[in-house]
Amino acid sequence: MKMDNKRRSFLQKGMMTGIAASVFLPSFGSELIAAIEKGPQYSNPSDLKITGIKTAFMKGHGTHMFVKLTTNQGITGYGEAMDAVRGTYGVATGTDGWDNMSQFLIGQNPLDVNKIVEQILRRGHFGGAQGGMYVAVMTGIEIALWDLAGKAMNQPVYRLMGGKFRDKIRLYCDSASSSESPEDMAASAIEVKKAGFTAIKFDLDWEGDPAKQDVFNRTASNGEINRMVKQITAVREAIGMDMDLCLDAHGRYDLPSGIRMAKEMEQFKLMFLEEPIPAENLDSLREITRQTTTPICTGENQYLAHDFRKILEKKAADIIMPDLHKCGGLGEGQRIANLANLYYVPVAPHMVASPFGAMAACHCCASFSNFLCLEFHWFSKWKQWDELILEAPIIKNGFIHLTDKPGIGVTPNEEAIKKYAVKDAPSF
């Protein structure tokens, strides 16, 4: 897009002011003007329109859905959604414009992020817009809208979200499986600590535990509890008391087992214990929270601020962990965090996305004051992780540093996404 005459005239007049030797006037500043003309130009934002949407599905940590939005000004925005997007190939684009979300995108100005999201949610009121796959797919679109808006305004997304409280985002590293020996788990913990992480998480539940008496009964036997205590004792001794330690039970246990587990873990001074029971019954989860000094965390399978309002009002957990790649997006994540802040509850988002999705989450985490820690789940697959963006690596000593680059600030590697594509699924 060419520079308009008024802009050219303004630049020329500004650079010529104060130049006494008229012989230099014809060429003075011409190289700068040419460089500006060749560089990226941003027209009046009101003229920006979405012209197309594509999706790509990839196997990484589960199923990833990438969204690519194109515009009439050549600016491209990317988004990513996770977990609840498996098989949703027609929800975002499809073949019938009335039955998919593209109807709310084409011709719209991507700077109207909130309006577009509200349209998608209202139109889907009877189609599942309260949670699940519908909201997860919309989340990928929402993140792409923020990326577009930032690029159009030549601003990082956190600026558009009200600014940042921090320059870098602390990660906790999800590490070894609970099926490993105490010694192997301790060794994994030391490896993570050496990599610069200041917080780590391990699983407690193990479906194949020989001490388990019944694969369907949720009660943890004495043998299971003893196995957990031995493992976490080894981990805590390996990393010391200063490194933060989190544990995840994946909602596998019943109420009495959850209470016992939380009490047994008190000695290890955890940052949090994640979902000792399923999070659907908040009254039962609140019983565990009330009966232990171990901080209880939940939220990775909740959607939109409404779900988190219930958790907070019932005081069912000490810490909430929305997944910013399926709960409704960055704007909804900020609303959830601000709501939690009214209850003085910290936020530690669940995150298993690619490095692009991780950076998108970082913009959101920077924008609210009660951020605690962001999950990183690719320690054993770091090579694939770094392949997925053009600007890798982005993690340094357990932190992701924000930049002032426009939009999300990193770019998905489309060739790598195709390399790990879901068979027979849409691709860029």
Q: What is the pTM of this model?
A: 0.89
Please determine, for residue 160, whether its predicted confidence score (pLDDT) is greater than 80: yes
Please determine, for residue 97, whether its predicted confidence score (pLDDT) is greater than 90: no
d(CA 185, CA 176): 6
- Looking at 2.60.120.200, 3.30.390.10, 3.10.129.10, 3.90.870.10, the CATH number of the domain 48-155 comes to 3.30.390.10
Domains 48-155 and 160-402 share a fold: no
Q: Please tell me the predicted confidence (pLDDT) of residue 92.
A: 87
Mean of pLDDT over the chain:
90
Q: Please tell me the predicted confidence (pLDDT) of residue 110.
A: 95
Beta-bridge mates of residue 226: none
Per-domain residue ranges for the chain?
Answer: 1-32, 48-155, 160-402
Q: Which residue has the higher pLDDT, 251 or 426?
A: 251
- Residues 138-165: what's their mean pLDDT? 97
What CATH number is given for 160-402 in this structure? 3.20.20.120
Please determine, for residue 205, whether its predicted confidence score (pLDDT) is greater than 70: yes
Q: Which residue has the higher pLDDT, 287 or 123?
A: 287
pLDDT tier for residue 299 given thresholds of 50, 70 and 90: very high
